[in-house]
Every structure is written in C-alpha cells, then in structure tokens.
C-alpha cells in the first residue's frame, strides 16, 4: 500500500515507518498535517496513519478533510487519548481503527494488514490462472511447463516480492535482502541478477512477464505465487 504516517514524535514515527517499509509498503513519514498538504500531487494514499495530538491542524480535523477528498481512504488513528468519548469522536471523524498508545508494533502491523485486506478483498481467495510455486527448501520454482533450479539469492528475492504489499519492492529493499548497501555498483549487480532470474523463469510456461522492472523504482512480481 501507499501509506502516509503523520506523527510528531520522531522516535515513534521512525519506528512505524521502518516497520511498514519492512513489510514492503511505500511509506512517507510526516511531522504535521501541513507537510501532507505540501506533498499534494504525489501518489494517492491508500492508508493514513495519524496521531491526534499534532502541531497545527489536529488529527481529527485532518482525517475529516482527507475523508472528504478521498472517500476510499483507510485511516488508522494512534493516540494517547483513552476515554470512550475520544474513541467515539475518532470513529465519527472517519477512523477505521483506533489504537491507544502505548501499543506494540506487532499490534500496529496487524491493524495495517486488516485494513489492507479491506482495500484488496480478493486477497486470500483461490487465485485464477497458473500459479508460480516456490519450493523454498529445494530452491526450485515450478510453473505450468516445468521446474527450474534457483540459487539462494534468487529465491530470497522472489520470497520477498511475494510477501511485499502489492508484490513490489524498491531497489534498496531488494539490495537489503541480498545484504548489499545502496550504491551504483550494487544497483548494477541487482539488475544483472534480476536479468538472470527472469531468464531462468522464462521457460516455466507463463504467458506474461513474471518479474517486471519498474522504471527508476524497483521490481514487481506480476502473477500469483505460493511458498511451499
């Protein structure tokens, strides 16, 4: 998902942003509502994670305004306000989930996953068409036309893409999977490994691309896949 986190506590904002990026989401961390306005015109937001006690415009007002602008937006509020009237006000303002601080990052991630399922209700149903089967322990990928052998890096990249939100990852995330730092030289290594991986997967019998390069961004897995 494309997620924006609006939280003025630097440590908490950083921890939330890092957690969600590790799950494969595209995440921006902002200090206040005004920064969100400054970022207008960028990609549409799927999920707004917002604190209520913000400098300037508060989280309730921001949520109401964003709901009017993007009716399909999902909103997760996280706040220290624990009173019942505060929770009611939060839901009336447009919250889908209201979490009170301190909350664990595991609880936050579970809430994000639940909202993601609302945005993608078909996820988890039986996939239509051929499925790429990744036999992780055997380092093998199987498709309609047969099976190919992969190396550990290739399997790790595919598994990371399968688990990522919308099955896409940025260059830096894939480099992290391979324990490589971000540099021009390592980006070249990533492109070479992806080219070799796609060549390996080509004989498996799928009609369209399996892994597609995203210009200036990263790579996306283009079909249903299962880890075995």
Q: What is the DSSP string of 71-102?
A: TT-EEEEEES--SHHHHHHHHHHT-SEEEESS
Instruction: Say if residues 223 and 131 touch (Cβ distance below 8 Å).
Output: yes
pLDDT of residue 164: 74
> Rounded CA gap, 102 and 18, in Å?
17
pLDDT digits (tens, 9 = 90+) for 116-141: 876 654 444 444 567 899 888 888 99
As its CATH architecture, domain 2-119 has 3-Layer(aba) Sandwich (3.40)
Q: CB under 8 Å to 110, separation ≥6 — which residues?
A: none
Question: What is the domain partition of the chain in residue ranges?
Answer: 2-119, 132-227
> Rounded CA gap, 66 and 75, in Å?
9
Q: CA neighbours within 13 Å on the CB side: how many for 207?
A: 2
**Could you count the other beta carbons within 10 Å of the beta carbon of residue 72?**
10
Q: Model pTM greater than 0.75?
A: no
pLDDT digits (tens, 9 = 90+) for 178-187: 888 888 899 9
The CATH number corresponding to 132-227 among 1.10.472.10, 1.10.10.10, 3.40.50.2000, 3.40.640.10 equals 1.10.10.10
* pLDDT tens digits in sequence order for the chain, 228 residues long: 889 999 999 999 999 999 999 888 889 999 998 888 765 545 678 899 999 999 889 999 999 988 887 777 889 999 888 888 888 888 888 888 888 888 888 888 888 888 887 665 444 444 456 789 988 888 899 998 899 999 988 988 898 888 776 788 889 888 888 888 888 899 999 999 999 999 999 999 887 788 988 877 889 998 888 877
Long-range contacts of 149-158 (CB under 8 A, 24+ apart): 150/197, 150/200, 153/178, 153/193, 154/193, 154/196, 154/197, 154/200, 157/193, 157/194, 157/197, 158/134, 158/197, 158/211, 158/221, 158/225
Residue 30, H or E segment: strand 26-30
């Amino acid at each position: 998902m494309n997620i924006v986190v609006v939280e003025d506590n630097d440590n908490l904002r950083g921890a939330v942003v890092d957690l969600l990026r590790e799950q494969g989401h595209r995440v921006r961390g902002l200090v206040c509502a005004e920064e969100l306005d400054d970022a207008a015109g960028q990609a549409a937001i799927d999920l707004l994670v917002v604190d209520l006690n913000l400098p300037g415009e508060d989280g309730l007002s921001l949520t109401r305004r964003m709901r009017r602008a993007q009716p399909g937006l999902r909103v997760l509020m996280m706040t220290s306000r624990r009173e019942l009237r505060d929770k009611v006000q939060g839901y009336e303002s447009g919250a889908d989930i209201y979490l009170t601080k301190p909350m664990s990052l595991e609880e936050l991630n579970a809430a994000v996953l639940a909202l993601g399922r609302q945005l993608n209700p078909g996820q988890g149903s039986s996939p239509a068409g051929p499925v790429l089967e990744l036999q992780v322990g055997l380092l093998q990928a199987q498709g309609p036309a047969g099976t190919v052998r992969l190396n550990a890096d290739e399997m790790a990249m595919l598994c990371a893409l399968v688990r990522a939100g919308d099955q896409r990852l940025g260059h830096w995330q894939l480099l992290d999977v391979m324990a490589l730092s971000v540099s021009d030289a390592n980006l070249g290594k990533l492109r070479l490994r992806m080219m070799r991986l796609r060549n390996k997967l080509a004989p498996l019998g799928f009609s369209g691309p399996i892994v597609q390069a995203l210009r200036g961004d990263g790579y996306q897995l283009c079909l249903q896949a299962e880890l075995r």
